[in-house]
Amino acid sequence: MTTAALFFDPDGYLLTGPKLMGRQAAGHAFLRAVAAAHSNQPVSVYAQTLQSARTFAHLLKGFNPAVANIDWIPFDQIERVIPIGTLYFPGPGLGDPARLRLRVGVNAYSLVGVTHTVASHTAMDNITGLLDAPVMPWDALISTSSAVAASVKQLLERQQEYLQWRLGSGLRLTLPQLPVIPLGVHCHDFDFTPEDRQQARSHLQLSADEIVILFVGRLSFHAKAHPHPMYRGLQLACERTGQPLTLIQYGASANEAIAEAFRDGARRFCPAVKTLFVDGRDFDQQKHCWAAADLFISLSDNIQESFGLTPVEAMAAGLPVLVSDWDGYRDTVRDGIDGFRIPTWMPPPDLGETYARAYEAGTDNYDFYCGLNCQTVSVDEDVLVDRLCTLIQTPSLRTRLGAAARQRAREHYDWAVVYRHYQALWSDLARIRQDASRDHTLSSLIRQAPRVAPGRQDPYRTFMHYPTHLLQPATRIRRLPTRPGATYPELLEHGLYNYAGKVLPRPEVAERLLCLCSEQAITLDELARQAGYALGPTALALSGLAKMGLIRLDNA
């Protein structure tokens, strides 16, 4: 089975942090897909610490106890990725991993990353940084939607123009593959029976005649969906249809001021609509909300959004979806088939210079930058109200759209399906990497690749001009008298030196070298020959012994 070593940091996958984001929900669901696909098979985790690797193993085994061994690959043992063939990251930052890969060969394995938001400076820098990083055609940056892919390509085009202005038009640039693979959901999580619906409505104190509209997501008017168009649309639909409407908003706010803005907005702008706020941190309540709903609404209007999981979750639950025609929603929801997409408006290019400058200068933070942009995006209210009224007044249409939505979710967005796209990509990248040796341009590029990134060189090279002398084969070594309490084993255990055990010689190596030294000088190359050690490791060992005052170094 095609697989990859998976980068793991708890922040990218756990749902227990103080600020739950879509990328964590997506990462958590991705690991469930990995576990389901690897019964009786090992999984490799690329993690900085043993504790992180253990957390990863606990997660995977919790999802599927049949997963075989979890193989931990520490960050500084990248050669162990080579037989696996692919290293996967849940973000777009492939530059540093690509530079680290130079140490084992630019074609040693493939790197794969995935975009979530593209709006932050960190994300933009990660994407534009691909052009001066040693990424290759056997690497890939996955976009979760066609809208995101277009933004990524636009950023890369502008960065290429910048580099050609800065360094000349004769640049040879290599790009990773830029596929579009959606995020997924575990559709069986959203299978609800009529009994589930009845119990959920009873739990939420909803009557049988109420039309329940559900919004799921962060209650954030700058980073998810500004609620005012939704409130206005529901109020007008309620007035036009005369139907009792209930809006459930399942989510959490970043602070109490935002939460109160949502509550006050609901009271003021849709007074005829019954509104319920359900804490998005209470996962037990989530199933009640999904099961009780008649239709789903999400009018995302912010540039922080990229894919949008909640409409796909609603589709898996068999709900008709009413969404803005925006970013990834455009890919997932077929207008008039699974639900309706409401047209959106945004100012044309070159009118957002003020926002971009303030964010770049640090005058505005990321949240404020997104919020100001969101303030200029609108949805078509006439279409919104018309579609709401149609759905409210036509139960058979809700049933038909919901059934089509459920089928689409299962066929295209279930993680079992989506994960196979990942596996197919990893196989394609392996083929491209293997075929590179037969491509003259690429094979030449591989041969000429440096073995280390310029800014990550051996410190003894970068700082070789600092010392008075460098150890050379002709450097002479003399043993100094050993002072009481200052033998090599004693010094090695002292707090002044025990931190450096990673670079200091093992006691048996130090003892052998010291035994071969005397008050009579011996050259470094002769000492290495007599000890039977390579010249480089011998020089490192002697440097440590000299630091401890056990030997003296002299010029030839």
Q: Which domain holds residue 141?
A: 5-182+420-448
Residue 22 has pLDDT above 90, yes or no: no
* Together in a domain, 172 and 242: no
454 lies in some domain: no
Neighbours of 129 (CB within 10 A): 17
Residue 82 main-chain phi, psi, to 5 deg? -55, -50
237 lies in some domain: yes
Residue 1 has pLDDT above 60, yes or no: no
DSSP 555: -
* Together in a domain, 480 and 528: yes
Residue 320 has pLDDT above 80, yes or no: yes
Residue 356 has pLDDT above 60, yes or no: yes
CB 295 within 8 A of CB 213: yes
* Together in a domain, 206 and 325: yes
Residue 116: band (very low, low, confident or very high) from pLDDT cuts 50, 70, 90: confident
* Together in a domain, 44 and 72: yes
What SS3 class is residue 190? helix
Tell me: the pLDDT tens digits for 515-550?
999 889 999 999 999 999 999 999 999 999 999 999
Tell me: the pLDDT tens digits for 38-48?
999 999 999 99
- CA-to-CA distance for 553 and 556, rounded, in angstroms? 10
Residue 156 has pLDDT above 80, yes or no: yes
* Together in a domain, 317 and 204: yes
Residue 19: band (very low, low, confident or very high) from pLDDT cuts 50, 70, 90: low
pTM above 0.95, yes or no: no
* Together in a domain, 392 and 261: yes
Tell me: the pLDDT tens digits for 55-74?
999 999 999 999 988 999 99
Average pLDDT, the chain: 93
Distances (CA, A) of 513 to 476, 507, 529: 13, 10, 11
Structural domain total, the chain = 3
What's the token pair of residue 93? 């930052």
Tell me: the pLDDT tens digits for 82-100?
999 999 999 999 999 999 9
CATH assignment of the domain containing 365: 3.40.50.2000
15 lies in some domain: yes
Tell me: the pLDDT tens digits for 326-345?
999 999 999 999 999 999 99
83 lies in some domain: yes
* Together in a domain, 243 and 386: yes
Segment 348-376 mean pLDDT: 92
334 lies in some domain: yes
453 lies in some domain: no
Tell me: the pLDDT tens digits for 434-475?
999 888 888 888 888 988 988 889 899 999 999 999 999 999
Residue 143 has, within 13 A of its CA and on its CB side, a CA count of 22
530 lies in some domain: yes
Residue 20: band (very low, low, confident or very high) from pLDDT cuts 50, 70, 90: low
* Together in a domain, 160 and 252: no
* Together in a domain, 226 and 360: yes
pLDDT value for 250: 96
Closest CA to 540 of 530, 521, 527: 527
Segment 247-259 mean pLDDT: 94
Angle at 255 between CA 271 and CA 362, to 5 degrees: 115
What's the token pair of residue 66? 């049949």
pLDDT value for 18: 58
* Together in a domain, 49 and 160: yes
* Together in a domain, 80 and 199: no
Report the residue count for the chain.
556
pLDDT value for 555: 85
Instruction: Determine what percent of the chain is predicted with pLDDT higher than 70.
Output: 98
pLDDT value for 17: 61
Tell me: the pLDDT tens digits for 381-402?
999 999 999 999 999 999 999 9
* Together in a domain, 113 and 226: no
Segment 108-125 mean pLDDT: 94
126 lies in some domain: yes
CATH assignment of the domain containing 505: 1.10.10
Residue 419 has pLDDT above 70, yes or no: yes
CATH assignment of the domain containing 156: 3.40.50
CB 549 within 8 A of CB 486: yes
